[in-house]
Amino acid sequence: MASSLTCTGMIWALLSFLSAATSCVGFFMPYWLWGSQLGKPVSFGTFRRCSYPVHDESRQMMVMVEECGRYASFQGIPSAEWRICTIVTGLGCGLLLLVALTALMGCCVSELISRTVGRVAGGIQFLGGLLIGSGCALYPLGWDSEEVRQTCGYISGQFDLGKCEIGWAYYCTGAGAAAAMLLCTWLACFSGKKQKHYPY
């Protein structure tokens, strides 16, 4: 089976897939921020949440429903910053996935990835990593929303966690973006083989 990638390109394809998968898994998981409410653990992502309070009519009190899910609507996301973060990070993950799948196809299809295509792919990865990094930077701006303050002891604010802590999914998303921007972008420049010039 012919490949359009150099040896460096093979490493680039593997790293592209790993960085895209890491960022996408981190983005989808609702474990960007950890806290507790009514004695139960609570976690937030950009568009998902685990454990939420509901009013129990029979006992006339607030109880925690311990399950994870998306917010009912886009407007239901607690802050405008988190809504922007969701869009920006989602776009970045989409770009990284697109390049990763193209790179993997380049392992099997001859003349799919030339040096020029590799450099363009690297540029797209840099943009994707930059978008995800921007999303990660925007996320702390939403820590002053009412939902987060309820969970973090009413002492959280922008860039102030209060009693909460950052979860593994936040680090996972950021690490995937950093790998895409720093490693993959550089390797992409050496990934494609020089194209053959045919006489016809």
Rg, the chain, Cα only: 21
Nearest to 6 by CA among 190, 196, 195, 197: 190
pLDDT reading at 111 higher than 80:
no
How distant, in Å, are the alpha carbons of 46, 63, 137 from that of 78? 9, 20, 17
Judged by average pLDDT, the poorest of 7-11, 56-60, 152-156 is 56-60
Tell me the three state secondary structure of residue 77. Answer: coil
Give pLDDT, residue 62.
Answer: 83
Overall average pLDDT of the 7-22 stretch: 94
How many whole angstroms separate alpha carbon 5 and alpha carbon 92?
24
pTM: 0.89
CB 28 within 8 A of CB 101: no
Alpha carbon distance 36, 24 (integer Å): 25
Per-residue pLDDT tens over the stretch 113-169: 888 899 999 999 999 999 999 999 999 999 999 999 999 989 999 999 999 999 999
Kindly tell me if the per-residue pLDDT of 196 is higher than 60.
no
